[in-house]
């Protein structure tokens, strides 16, 4: 008879870089705790995941490929298996819905993984809850958002504190969170409408049903950063939120012998403002020109990681004019590595939550310029006193949403890099960054949280010894 296999933790990320990378960090942490892990993905996404998980300490992790459905998606070329490659973000929800067709292959593959201990899947893969129930194992979902954004979204939907506002920019409060004021413009359309409706709303409502049935929510944050929102979630909403982050602290430093040209540039330039707006946001040509003009006029040194297709929207001659103090990087770059570089002292960011966590852990203050999804909420949290690790670039007219002019970019870049408010948030991010590191250390709140999650998923039992799983 062969040795008895330990329960396998199944990890199923959504096919988007920002959703996948945090869960791969979680894989690394689980393996360090002696947990057998199988990661599910599609053929086009598998190579990057294998590359990410090639470290010796996790070499026995299984990576199981499922065929991506061949159902046509309007406006999307065949073969696209990651949201990064979508021609337009307008196809996002149809892309998500197509993943439901993966369920039969997923369940067939699980039959070879006895025993499955639990399923940890992205919230967008809500259909995996039905599979978990069928197997009789717990399912935990990963939203990728902050505890703050997740909680206020749910409270807005449930309690409707915005119901009597007459405009998108009229402030309203939250009785359960004294001192918190938001506007409807902090929320993405159509969820900022008084009576939201449409396919996006229907989709989120469907996800809500799967979330309620799930065993728990995995949060890429730490308890000390978002205490009152996490406690409120656990006491008044649920299912239980498990803080296990910042997950980016599970990253391994890249070999110095493999430094990229932009790292070599940083070695000889300081101080530098890092500029990046993620892989999803669709930024208009007019807005990009204003950002570029503001950076040029600010006089600061900057490194801008930009998607190649966006370069055509910049004013002709821009790159040549700033070449002595600005570097344009048009390929994928390791953001964590850039932020950790000693020369980087500020981050002009879209405020995706992964970017916020990476910036905090690198102790680099943020200049928030949000565009979509929950980024406006993150920007508010970052620049508010309760977090205080950044400043906010404001659109013209005083709204939190709208067109940002070059003068505002110039002014706020200078303030972050050289002003008194910049000095204040730089001091604050040092404190928060140290708290984040402490949470992930042995005995810290996130270290304990991960142990509690493992015990919960194991039915209150200690984790069993490592057993490699092959497929």
Q: Based on the structure, what is the number of domains in the chain?
A: 2
Clarify whether residues 39 and 16 are in a common domain: yes
Clarify whether residues 296 and 346 are in a common domain: yes
CATH of the domain at 61: 3.40.50.2000
Clarify whether residues 143 and 276 are in a common domain: no
Confidence category of residue 346, pLDDT binned at 50, 70, 90:
very high
Q: Return the minimum-mean-pLDDT range out of 89-93, 151-155, 435-439, 462-466.
A: 462-466
pLDDT at 463: 42
Clarify whether residues 32 and 139 are in a common domain: yes
Clarify whether residues 197 and 288 are in a common domain: no
Classify residue 469: in a domain, yes or no.
no
Which domain, by its residues, includes 347? 258-435
Classify residue 468: in a domain, yes or no.
no
Question: For residue 453, what are the contacts with CB-CB under 8 A and spacing of at least 6?
Answer: 140, 216, 218, 242, 244
Is the model more confident about 386 or about 186? 186
Confidence category of residue 58, pLDDT binned at 50, 70, 90:
low
Give the rounded distance of the alpha carbon of 176 from its chain centre.
26
Query: pLDDT tens digit string along 402-429?
Result: 999 999 999 999 999 999 999 999 999 9
pLDDT at 401: 95
Clarify whether residues 36 and 119 are in a common domain: yes
Clarify whether residues 122 and 230 are in a common domain: yes
Clarify whether residues 327 and 238 are in a common domain: no
Clarify whether residues 308 and 411 are in a common domain: yes
Classify residue 424: in a domain, yes or no.
yes
Query: pLDDT tens digit string along 189-234?
Result: 999 999 999 988 998 889 999 999 999 999 999 999 999 999 999 9
Classify residue 128: in a domain, yes or no.
yes
Is the model more confident about 231 or about 254? 231
pLDDT at 191: 92
Clarify whether residues 32 and 168 are in a common domain: yes
């Amino acid at each position: 008879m062969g040795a008895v296999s330990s329960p396998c933790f199944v990890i199923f990320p959504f096919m988007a870089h920002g959703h996948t990378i945090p869960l791969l960090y979680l894989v690394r942490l689980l393996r360090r705790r002696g947990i057998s892990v199988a990661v599910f993905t599609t053929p086009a996404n598998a190579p990057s995941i294998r590359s990410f998980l090639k470290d010796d300490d996790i070499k026995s992790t299984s990576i199981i490929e499922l065929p991506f459905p061949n159902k046509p998606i309007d406006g999307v070329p065949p073969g696209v298996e990651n949201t990064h490659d979508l021609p337009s973000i307008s196809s996002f929800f149809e892309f998500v819905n197509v993943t439901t067709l993966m369920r039969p292959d997923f369940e067939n593959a699980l039959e070879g993984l006895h025993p499955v201990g639990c399923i940890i899947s992205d919230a967008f893969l809500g259909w995996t809850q039905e599979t978990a129930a069928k197997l009789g194992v717990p399912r935990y979902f990963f939203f990728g958002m902050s505890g703050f954004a997740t909680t206020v979204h749910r409270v807005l939907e449930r309690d409707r504190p915005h119901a009597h506002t007459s405009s998108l920019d009229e402030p309203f409060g939250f009785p359960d969170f004294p001192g918190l004021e938001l506007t409807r413009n902090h929320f993405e359309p159509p969820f900022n409408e008084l009576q939201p409706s449409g396919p996006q709303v229907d989709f989120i409502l469907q996800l809500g049903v799967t979330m309620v049935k799930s065993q728990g929510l995995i949060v890429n944050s730490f308890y000390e950063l978002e205490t009152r929102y996490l406690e409120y979630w656990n006491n008044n909403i649920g299912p239980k939120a498990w803080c296990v982050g910042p997950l980016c602290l599970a990253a391994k430093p890249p070999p110095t012998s493999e430094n990229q040209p932009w790292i070599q540039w940083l070695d000889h330039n300081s101080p530098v403002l890092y500029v990046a707006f993620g892989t999803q946001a669709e930024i208009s040509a007019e807005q990009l020109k204003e950002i570029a003009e503001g950076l040029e006029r600010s006089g600061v040194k900057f490194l801008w990681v930009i998607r190649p297709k966006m370069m055509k929207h910049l004013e002709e001659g821009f790159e040549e004019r700033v070449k002595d103090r600005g570097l344009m990087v048009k390929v994928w770059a390791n953001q964590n590595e850039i932020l950790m570089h000693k020369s980087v002292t500020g981050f002009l960011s879209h405020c995706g939550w992964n970017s916020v966590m990476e910036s905090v852990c690198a102790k680099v203050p943020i200049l928030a310029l949000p565009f979509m999804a929950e980024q406006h909420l993150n920007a508010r949290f970052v620049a508010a006193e309760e977090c205080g690790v950044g400043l906010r670039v404001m659109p013209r007219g005083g709204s939190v949403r709208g067109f940002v002019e070059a003068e505002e970019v110039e002014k706020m870049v200078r303030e972050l890099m050289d002003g008194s408010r910049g000095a204040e948030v730089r001091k604050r991010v040092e404190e928060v960054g140290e708290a984040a590191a402490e949470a992930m250390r042995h005995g810290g709140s996130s270290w304990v949280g991960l142990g509690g999650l493992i015990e919960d998923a194991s039915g209150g039992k200690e984790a069993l010894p490592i057993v490699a799983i092959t497929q």
